[in-house]
Amino acid sequence: MKEIVIYGAGGFAREIAFFIEQINEKQPTWYIKGFVDDNSDNVGTYINGYPVIGTGQWLASLDEEISVVIGIGSSRVREAVVQRLARCLHIQYPNIIHPSVILSNTTKMGVGNVIGAGSVLTCNIKIGSFVTIHSHCTIGHDATIDDFATILPRAAIAGNVHLGRCVDFGTNATIIQGLSVGEYSVIGAGAVVVRNIPAYCTAVGVPAKPIKFQT
């Protein structure tokens, strides 16, 4: 099995460890070396049986090749971590896909993505890198999900939808076919998107409407 490190030590990082355990039950693939946490006080502790083995600075200083999955729920924080590690050519970012996921072989994706249990991705979908798709999401044909987007549990993304970079798409939210959500926008839990949502805003409700814009 190949060694892998989980960057992060919170709830989502623990979920990823569970996903990897589920992968290994089907096909032994990964040896979880431990967690990386930027809080140095946590180094040497254990989380669900796995050690916190170092900080991000320690990870960047390694000289051997290592696989890393970013276990951080926030799109923007995940983006910042990857940017800090951009020059670390020894780090590889595999895609972690729960074995229960239904995924068409016509779907294309980059690196560092995480797809949770029970999600369904149909045909001709384009997924960037470092995207998080939580459990029991559905993504329809020809959708495009840009880098660092986060799709929270039970969200429904219809066909030909485009989610921009670092979009946070809330739990149980829905977007109808052919629409787009601009980069860095947030769609609240349970929202129903029936028209395009601009960049850098938070939209909530049924139908979803922007309630504030980021500066």
Pure H helices in the chain? 11-26, 56-61, 75-84
Q: How far apart are CA 84 and CA 59, in angstroms?
A: 11
141 belongs to the catalytic site: yes
The binding site for substrate consists of 73
User: Which residues have CB under 8 Å from 173's CB, separation 6+?
Assistant: 152, 155, 156, 187, 188, 189, 190, 191, 192, 193, 208
The binding site consists of 73
Catalytic residue among 134, 136, 141, 162: 141
User: Which residues have CB under 8 Å from 82's CB, separation 6+?
Assistant: 70, 112, 130, 148
Which residues are identified as catalytic? 141
